[in-house]
Amino acid sequence: MLFSFSVITPTVSFSGDSEWILDTDTSYHVFPGGDWFSSFEKLAGYSVVIGDNCSCNMEGISTVFIKMFDEILQELKKVRYVPQLKKKFVLVGALEALGLEISSRDHILKMLRGSMVVMKGVQRNLYYLKGITVTG
């Protein structure tokens, strides 16, 4: 089965292993590292097409926990495991579908539930999530 989404990854001057890019253009939360999954459903025969029309294997779906800027754990469900990718992506539209309001001001992207900031990203040519992936 073939899934298609666009992943456009410009060269950035600062990037850490635990950073997630907040993306409005991908179809799913996408993750290249299998060691941070809290649950894992193995898939076979699935692939994704990324922005440069390259096909990559999607090897599973899982849940990932991220410790946010305020030390609260947030759960990302249905994260696609695509080991060939070099970046991790959070789909902002999926967060909106869960009822979060998205607000952008002064290079800060906020995902809100009511007046509470649930997730926050900072802009450095792209928006990067302020949080750390929880292992195990």
Render pLDDT for 77-134 as a digit per residue (tens, 0 to 9). 889 999 988 888 999 998 998 899 999 999 999 999 999 999 999 999 899 999 988 8
94's CB contacts (< 8 A; 6+ apart) are 28, 29, 78
pTM of the model: 0.78
Work out the number of other CB atoms within 10 angstroms of the CB of residue 62. 20
Distance, CA of 48 to chain centre: 15
Amino acid at 115: S
| Domain segments of the chain as ranges | 2-8+18-133
CA proximity to 136, closest of 71, 69, 65, 61: 65
What pLDDT score does 132 carry? 87
- Between the alpha carbon of residue 28 and those of residues 5, 23, 76, 87, 118, the distances in Å are 8, 9, 11, 13, 19
Count of C-beta atoms within a 10 Å radius of residue 133: 19
Q: How far apart are CA 80 and CA 58, in angstroms?
A: 7
- Per-residue pLDDT of 35-71, as tens digits, reads 666 788 899 888 888 878 888 899 999 888 889 989 9
Residue-wise pLDDT tens digits, 9-43: 333 333 345 689 998 877 788 888 766 667 888 99
- Residue found by looking up tokens 């989404």 in the block: 5
Distance between CA atoms of residues 54 and 45, nearest Å:
16
* Helices and strands of the chain, counted as H and E runs: 1, 12
